[in-house]
Amino acid sequence: MNFHKIVVSELTKLAELFTAFDNDAFIAQRRREIESGETAIFALEQNGRIMAEITVRYYDTDGYTDFSERGKRAYLYALRVLPEYQGHGLAQSLTMQVLAELRKSGYSEATIGVEDDNDRAKHIYRKLGFTTLVKRCRETFQVDTYEFNLYLNDDI
């Protein structure tokens, strides 16, 4: 499986992972964020198919540092794995590889959000050092509003 950073021209390859969203709006938003350097999307790909992806926010445009702070703390979110590949270690592998990339880039901390009912993700994140609860969050993306806990790993 190939680990790599998605480039703008590959954004449409992610459609299979986010079928519940307005794909055009999602791609346009991610394009803007990638081009500005605010975010990057990392993926595991096999035979031209994206099996798993995660988005990394390097800094927040609103100035808040709970989630991310340029050069110090990155925010990992939107971790998705194709349903037929869930439970095979791809989420953990992808997250570990992203943390290694962040370390190489000088980051020492990372945060990650997880919803209350996602026990599988909570287990993975705890194993990877995301153990400090930063805060409870509420967010709206497109038409969905959801709540999640933001966890910190302060030694990536």
Q: What is the pTM of this model?
A: 0.92
CA 24 to chain centroid: 19
Q: What are the chain's domains?
A: 2-153 (3.40.630.30)
User: What residues have CB less than 8 Å from 11, skipping those under 6 apart?
Assistant: 27, 30, 31, 34, 41
pLDDT digits (tens, 9 = 90+) for 84-143: 999 999 999 999 999 999 999 999 999 999 999 999 999 999 999 999 999 999 988 767
